[in-house]
Structure 1
Amino acid sequence: MMNVLMSYVLLLLVAFNVQANDWREARIEVQTLFNNALSEDDIYNASWAIYSPSKKIDWHFSGGQFSSGEKVTGANPFYTASIGKTFTSTAIAMLYERGYLKLTDEVTNYLPKEVVSGLHLFEGKDYSSEITIEQLLQHTSGLPDYFGDETYDDLPNATALLFAETDRMWTPVELLNISKKSMRPHFKPGASYRYSENGYVLLGLIVEQVSGLRLHDFFQQHIFTPLNMNNTYMHLRAKPRFATKKMSEVYVQNTNISTFKSLSLDWAGGGLVSTARDLNRFQMALHTFQLVTAETLEKMQQWIPESKGLYYGFGLRKVSSAERFSSNFNLNMIGHTGSTSSFMFYCPDLDIYLSGTFNQINQAQKSITAPFSILTYLQGDESNEK
């Protein structure tokens, strides 16, 4: 009996070693890709995590340093920017499943009149009361974007305010007022698609109104703690569950903006700090129905065109590699990107989760090109095995 058991253990070890060897070349290629990116002049630090339960891949890459000279490791969390939209949309989906709201409800059902009033004045008509939750989730409300849109009266938008008032702590209502005062909507609610940070501020306020919790507390109680995301928190508004290393520095060209209190201009649409491993833990839970049901996740993946090869659902973005890059590899990535060149994607075709950042706003395009490059290496290795 002992001999049989020992033989079985040896077979398992051999199988594991064979599989590990199968991915060794791909890991070297991904490491080279990471090193090449890190060597670019305006990338000061980076962190990636690649995970696949079916392929037994659990890789992490990190490098660079703080301005003090201290090394950046995978334990240093980073500013995730618009990846936070997936967390806010998931919070809405969880409340929907529990019967607290309907996705087709108007936002006026949940928010005070002073918040909603004057939100959507378009061509002489106030459409504020017609905006629905699902329109906010999918960026089809027509609302302006207080970060990216220009003002009509030469007042600064949020991008300018980030640098102009670096010590200011912003409230969610103040964020909405930036566009209320100086920006115009783009179309009637539901008529088209246009990315809007305003919509996700409203969604964050709805989560707070319905749940009775501050948004960062809702995340902590219903997402971070159950998933053991111990290094994830809302920047400037909360602390991580356990002691966590300091946040990696994030740059705009050569300017380190990590210490700016004005990063509070980002909230429900992208104010989270996390690690690549924590982000993979979250998206695996989402795609294996630990947070919402399969039916609800399917609702979140009702795609509409965003740009070439990009589609948007409810706080989720889909990238079609065949369309986006005219690639021979027909792979889809589902997740989100952030302006800080952060990314969080699941590739269902290969069962691979990828998360990471370059912490450089001027390299935002890498939030899509880098994960696709990683997948091509892994797809190539998988094809060679067959």
Structure 2
Amino acid sequence: MWKLMDTKKCDKIFNQAIKSKQVHEFVLFVENSNGDFSYKNEYGDKSIDSPLLMASITKMFTTTCILILLEQDKLSLDDKVSRFVDKKKLSELHMYNGQEYSFDLTISSLLFQTSGLPDIFEERKDSLKKRVLQEDFNINFDEIIKLTKQLKPHFAPDAIKRAYYADVNFEILGEIIETITASSLEDAFQSFIFKPLGLEKTYLPQNEHDFIPSIYYKERYISRPKFIKSSRASGGGISTARELMIFLKAFFRGKFFKKEVFHQLNKYKKLQTSMYPIQYGGGYMRIPLNGLSTVFVGKGELVGHSGSTGSFAFYYPHKDLFLVGDVNQFANPALPIRLAMRIALSIK
């Protein structure tokens, strides 16, 4: 039985968050599986039905398509990427210690972030992130591959205990989905996810008429529709808190795929130090709540994803809670994760 005290604790965390100079708008939506506990709060121009940038939460949608194709026997996690992607594009993508590993990459390497490939969004002096802050621009798959080849991988594919978060892994998965389905990624999402769940406000933007929310970077309010349209499989999705809740419950409660298929994803590795305490499984994050980051006072874990623009969608199995929200702040990607952790720990 959920208590009134639990909602008061959520109120307290919410009200503390909106006092931050970085938080100009905030939406929070928390429910348990059957909906007998439901909490929402809204601030600024965000409501649970307002469009929000999913950013990297989109990776869970890409993961969903991969698992559905796996159930349809159209791919295996052990399949080589070269089975689906042009070998000329892959050539010299992964050169490590003088050896080429490009053709050793598997779907599993991409899904679990164990490819070792570098991340052009965060790395380099002229990283995509720095460029996004200055201007809006398009970037296609071939350009993403070309830029990735200019950086050094961090380790050989599937090295023991190694994982490195890089958007390129999911951009390649998007290409694989398009190859197998002989359709656009947008159509695959629509067929596999949006239509079955009845999601009418969740989409991958394709043209100039598709609405794309603007983003706060500290005090600046910036619009980057071209780049968001380019991010597609790794971070280009738009949704609402209400519809993200529907998707999140479907993802973790077996509505898309059998338990034995989903079970293949729960093998976690620590990501690079800069992303502590996040671990990565197959297409989603795991955040332990019983470790150093919570001074060992928590129990269980959060599983799901956050986005660099302040979005988050996590399941807390220990309390059977689903947490969805958005602070729409590009300057502090750790903020939504800290908020989700605090909310999970506050509810008894």
Which deviates more, 226-235 or 133-142?
A: 226-235
Q: 2:167 aligns with which of 184, 197, 202?
A: 197
- Taking a change above 3 Å as real, the CA distance of residues 354 and 120 of structure 1, as seen in their structure-2 partners, is same
Q: Secondary structure at the match of 1:47?
A: strand
1:278 equivalenced with 2:247 (yes/no): no
Aligned to 1:249: 214
Q: 2:187 aligns with which of 217, 224, 231?
A: 217
Separation of aligned partners in 2, 1:109 and 1:38: 49
Equivalent runs, 1:236-385 vs 2, <5 Å: 236=206, 248-306=213-271, 308-323=276-291, 324-379=293-348
Q: CA deviation at 1:172?
A: 2.1
Aligned to 2:5: 25
Separation of aligned partners in 2, 1:239 and 1:26: 41
Which one-letter code corresponds to 1:142 in the other structure?
G
Q: Is the CA contact 2:33–2:322 (under 8 Å) kept in the aligned structure 1?
A: no
Separation of aligned partners in 1, 2:222 and 2:202: 19
Q: 2:107 aligns with which of 126, 130, 133?
A: 133
Q: Is the CA contact 1:311–1:317 (under 8 Å) kept in the aligned structure 2?
A: yes
Separation of aligned partners in 1, 2:301 and 2:91: 40
Q: CA deviation at 1:197?
A: 1.0
Q: Is the CA contact 1:157–1:178 (under 8 Å) kept in the aligned structure 2?
A: no
- Taking a change above 3 Å as real, the CA distance of residues 248 and 327 of structure 1, as seen in their structure-2 partners, is farther
Structure 1: runs of 5+ lacking an equivalent: 1-18, 66-71, 241-245, 380-386
1:110 equivalenced with 2:84 (yes/no): yes
Q: Is the CA contact 2:170–2:234 (under 8 Å) kept in the aligned structure 1?
A: yes
Aligned to 1:145: 119
Separation of aligned partners in 1, 2:87 and 2:34: 50
Which one-letter code corresponds to 2:98 in the other structure?
G
Q: CA deviation at 1:236?
A: 4.6
Q: Is the CA contact 1:357–1:367 (under 8 Å) kept in the aligned structure 2?
A: yes
Q: Is the CA contact 1:83–1:336 (under 8 Å) kept in the aligned structure 2?
A: yes
1:42 equivalenced with 2:7 (yes/no): no
Q: CA deviation at 1:248?
A: 4.4
1:88 equivalenced with 2:57 (yes/no): no
Deviation string, structure 1 residues 97-135 (Cα, Å, up to 9, x no partner): 100011011100111123212211222222111111101
Which deviates more, 273-282 or 363-372?
A: 363-372
Structure 2: runs of 5+ lacking an equivalent: none
TM-score (norm 2): 0.92
Structure with max Cα Rg: 1
Q: CA deviation at 1:333?
A: 0.9
Separation of aligned partners in 1, 2:263 and 2:252: 10
Separation of aligned partners in 1, 2:87 and 2:347: 52
**What percent of counterpart residues are identical?**
28
1:162 equivalenced with 2:127 (yes/no): no
Which one-letter code corresponds to 1:173 in the other structure?
D
Residue-pair matches, total: 342
TM-score (norm 1): 0.83
Q: CA deviation at 1:360?
A: 0.4
Separation of aligned partners in 1, 2:158 and 2:179: 24
Separation of aligned partners in 2, 1:39 and 1:209: 47
Separation of aligned partners in 2, 1:377 and 1:164: 39
Which one-letter code corresponds to 1:252 in the other structure?
Y
CA-atom RMSD in angstroms: 2.0
Which deviates more, 192-201 or 263-272?
A: 263-272
Q: CA deviation at 1:357?
A: 1.1
Q: Is the CA contact 1:140–1:189 (under 8 Å) kept in the aligned structure 2?
A: yes
Which deviates more, 356-365 or 291-300?
A: 356-365
Separation of aligned partners in 1, 2:234 and 2:217: 19
Q: Secondary structure at the match of 2:61?
A: helix
Moved over 4 A (4+): 236-240
Q: CA deviation at 1:331?
A: 2.6
Separation of aligned partners in 2, 1:205 and 1:239: 24
Deviation string, structure 1 residues 21-65 (Cα, Å, up to 9, x no partner): x53222122123212212221211111111113460222222113
